[in-house]
Amino acid sequence: MADYAQLGLFFVVVFGVIALPGLDMAFVLASTLRGGHGAGLAAVGGIMLGGAAHVVLGVLGVAAILAVWPPLFNTVLLLGALYIGWIGWSLLRTQEAVTLPAPGAIQHGRPVFLQGMLTCLLNPKAYVFMLAIFPQFLHPERGGLWSQAAALGLITAFTQAAVYGTVAFAALRAHRWLAGNPRAGLAAARAVGAVLLGAALLTVLQGWA
């Protein structure tokens, strides 16, 4: 039987972790500003799939392996930070303002979807969550671990969709305004790049602290 108090507490914790600005949120923001509505939703979808993979990894005990061998955790952290840092650097150096895709243009959502999944899988915050928090909500005496993990995974996916979907919507509204203001659009693109670089640097510094 589901422990609704535990599920409610898990939701509160997950919401706090997801709502805290980090690599996943930065990627959704950047994707929406660069590619519009389709790219933003693709980024959210990819991150949700990456979150589901984290749930599976947590149940299988991969998180425990990362805890036993810290250098592997640091490698994952560095890869995630470098990936986001590369996106930030490309935006920081761009000469193109934020613009909406031309009407009728095909939105290539699949690459963004895959990049979103990769961003989530390389996000060190997710591994910290799986190491420190997720196992506390799995109780073998209450039934199958997989059924419990499925409930927790659904809560995580719902929260990701709500939080990151809101971020994408807000970015899209800003996107439309910036499309009519080329100078502001260029400044916004570079500002997002600086934020991504800052997030990547902070991630590395916190990971090795």
DSSP 7-64: HHHHHHHHHHHHHS--HHHHHHHHHHHHHHHHHHHHHHHHHHHHHHHHHHHHHHTHHH
How open is the CA angle 65-71-77, to the nearest 5 degrees?
Answer: 95
The residue with tokens 């947590």 is 58
Is the pLDDT assigned to residue 157 strictly greater than 90? yes
For 17-64, write each residue's pLDDT tens digit.
788 777 788 888 888 877 777 888 999 999 999 999 888 887 776 556
For 180-200, write each residue's pLDDT tens digit.
666 766 776 777 778 767 767
The stretches of 23-181 forming alpha helices (DSSP H) are 23-60, 62-68, 70-92, 109-121, 124-132, 145-179
Q: Is 87 within 8 Å of 30 (Cβ atoms)? A: yes
pLDDT of residue 113: 92
pLDDT of residue 179: 60
For residue 115, the SS3 value is: helix
Residues 125-130 have a mean pLDDT of 75
Distance CA 85, CA 90 (A): 9
Is the pLDDT assigned to residue 207 strictly greater than 60? no
Is the pLDDT assigned to residue 201 strictly greater than 90? no
Q: Is 76 within 8 Å of 66 (Cβ atoms)? A: yes
Residues 153-171 have a mean pLDDT of 91
For 62-119, write each residue's pLDDT tens digit.
556 656 776 766 676 677 667 767 777 877 776 655 554 443 344 457 888 998 998 8
pLDDT of residue 132: 65
pLDDT of residue 102: 44
Is the pLDDT assigned to residue 158 strictly greater than 90? yes
Q: Is 43 within 8 Å of 28 (Cβ atoms)? A: yes
